[in-house]
Chain A
Amino acid sequence: MAGIRWGRVAGWAVLVVVMLVTLFPFYWMLRTSFSNTRALAAGAADLLPVDFTLGAYRRVLGLSSTAEAVAEGGSSGTVNFWLYLRNSIVVATVTTAGQVFFGALAAYAFARLRWPGRNAVFTLFVTALMVPPIFTTLPNFVLIKELGLLNTFLGIVLPHLLMTPFAVFFLRQFFLGINAGVEEAARIDGAGHVRTFFRIVLPMSRGPIATLAILTYITSWNDYFWPLLVGKAENVRVLTVALGIFRSQTPQGSPDWAGLMAATLFAALPIMVLFAVLGRRVIDSIGYTGVK
């Protein structure tokens, strides 16, 4: 007859509390998204949806008339979900592919090639990590405007398409850790730098590259300020910007909370799916490189 293992009970209790604290905001979003915005003020503390309605989802997807929407405390604002989802995917995918590929090339050059001024340039790179993005926002905006690239996908992805200091720094650390013997063997077999990089180094760094790709993808997906500045037009509008615009398309005085929560849940779904599918793989892949 074993006694109750108090340690285990306490552990579970802590876990349950942490889970509740983490998941409650999500529940609150769900509960609010099924409420009637007009009735929310009266039932601010209700745990269940106030005056249950699917109106918020109908508004977001543009299935309700302006009059219906206004009656529930909404507006004519809608989220053209599929179009903005496509735009978000285009921007995040192009940014990720470009940044990881060019970043890897640069990182390899810093890690393995000898060239004059290499260390000075690298110091400059690492220094660039310390520059807050807000400082480069305005010059970049003016540049993109002068190039006539406002409201184009190119304008949205350009600043991060070629590299970010973080990506280069991150991959260089991994390349430095690769056993030099492997590359030496490749060179003896007659492979040049290019071949060594593509055939040996890249396959060996699959883990860190996947990690970087996912981090970049999420960062790019969640980026708001830059796309807001250069890509407000409908045909290139990404989900984050669409949410911001939806929030501002509200009646005077009070946001359409229910509609906003419904739209936010929609926009967060793809990233949640990405995490569910790839999360574990990323964690597993870090720390394993060719030679033990």
Chain B
Amino acid sequence: MKRCLAVAGAAVLLLAGCGAQEEPQAADGPVTIDYWLWDTAQQPQYQACADAFHKANPNYTVKITQYGWDDYWNTLTTAFVSGTAPDVFVGHLSRYPELAAQSQIMPIDDQVTKDKVDLSIYQDGLADLWVAKDGKRYGLPKDFDTVAVIYNTEKLKDAGIKPEEMAELKWNPQDGGTYEKVIARLTVDKNGKRGDEPGFDKKNVAVYGLGLAGSGAGFGQTEWSQYTMSNGWQYGDKNPWPTKFNYADPTFKETIKWFISLIDKGYMPTMDIASSGVGQIDAYGAGKYAMVTEGSWNTKTYWNLKDVKSALAPTPIGPTGKRASLFNGLADNISATTDNPDAAWAWVKFLGSPACQEEIVAKEAIVFPAIKTATVKAQQAFKDAGIDVEPFTMHVEQGTTHLAPIAEHWADITATMTETMDAIFSFKADVNSLDQANATVNGYFG
């Protein structure tokens, strides 16, 4: 059957004269730049940047395509295989090392030197995160993000908790500290009994004190990283470029054990609810969660929910006596397969410039742009929208940020850890199954 196909295919090819190859576009004619991103909330602002870019360079048009985070990387991988990859796409710190190692993305050192791009305008340390193991630079920073608690002000009042209390919460892996007390207090069962009252029915919960988006796999950026790191845990032996990971570390295990105990006590939804197809944002908007831990990029989406009023609180202080938050940033990568490297670079440079970050992105108050002056503008824009983003920015000011893991083999690590963490969060496996998972993860590094 296959031979049949080959013969037929060859015959057809002879007939068709092999016209399937795409002609590279002429460099001086109009060029369309394919650009991919994953965040719908940010699409309007980057569309505005694309329009401004087109105005400045009438020959260049940017076509934006959005894929949800859950599908983004798989879609990108298959696109590289089938030759339909975008010219430029939003990259991620944890993902770009692999793409760089496989030569799927283009280094931009020469262009940066040639166009004298000033790398000191970005928040300290952000630009160098995009220098890969080969010493080459692969992107210009777009934004940075941290994690905080978003809570429903109405439900806080009903529980008799004051907003001031929210700013000084502490947690520990033994009894959960004041943080767990607040979560328990905010939890309400179907009969109106609260989580800290006798007779609370953990099998029939109407409002969970703390929401859950998922198990977090090996990253846990908004799920558990703020606890593990405020308990003194680090992802690997060093960052960037760790050679071994610490998922089997007792500190990590005890933190996760405490975290999933919240599910068992009925204070946090089960994995079944978290993965039911109704996202954390919608469940919170429907009044089913009293508070959530979230990334700064989603703030505006929460404030746009019609039926709930929200406020921000910092992540709790852990056993180390400090708070902790992952510090992550995005940049745009250029595909090595692009037909128009010049146009792609022009667009990337524009995205990394004040013209886009300060004039457009900052004013939208969706993310914190990477350029220092633009960050200040964005904070003001958030304030104007009635959002005090101090709980997000305090991590940067107080130095309690921790870099997102920048490592090779991240896709494999994610696959392994998704399986293990999902099982642990569903109570199908013990936290000690992390020993095996960690051995598998470290095996990727030879």
Contacts and interface: CB of A to CB of B under 8 A. Distances in A.
A66 B47 contact: yes
A252 B286 CA distance: 17
A42 B66 contact: no
A117 interface: no
Nearest to B300: A70
Contacts of A66: 40, 43-44, 47
Contacts, number: 134
A116 interface: no
A71 B281 CA distance: 12
A279 interface: no
Q: Classify chain A's interface size.
A: 35 or more
Interface residues of B, number: 54
Contact of A248 (B70, B278, B283, B307): B70
Interface stretch (B6-14, B182-190, B334-342): B6-14
A162 B280 contact: no
B282 A76 contact: no
B68 A154 contact: no
B52 to A, nearest CB: 16
B281 A253 contact: yes
Contact of A71 (B282, B298, B304): B304
B397 interface: no
A167 interface: no
B84 A42 contact: no
20 contacts: A38-B282, A41-B283, A41-B285, A66-B47, A69-B40, A75-B43, A75-B68, A140-B2, A143-B5, A148-B20, A152-B20, A159-B5, A232-B84, A249-B65, A251-B301, A252-B39, A253-B280, A254-B279, A254-B282, A255-B68
Interface of B: 1-2, 4-6, 8-10, 12-13, 16, 18, 20-21, 38-41, 43-44, 47, 64-72, 75, 78-79, 82-84, 213, 277-283, 285-288, 298, 301, 304-307
**A-B CB proximity, top 6 nearest:** A254-B279, A253-B279, A248-B71, A42-B286, A41-B286, A41-B282
Given A69-B40, A148-B13, A252-B70, 13 more contacts: A42-B286, A66-B44, A75-B43, A76-B64, A76-B66, A136-B1, A136-B2, A139-B2, A158-B5, A158-B8, A232-B82, A249-B66, A250-B40
Interface of A: 37-42, 44, 66-67, 69-71, 73-77, 128, 136, 139-140, 143-145, 147-152, 154, 158-159, 161-162, 229-230, 232-233, 245, 248-255, 257
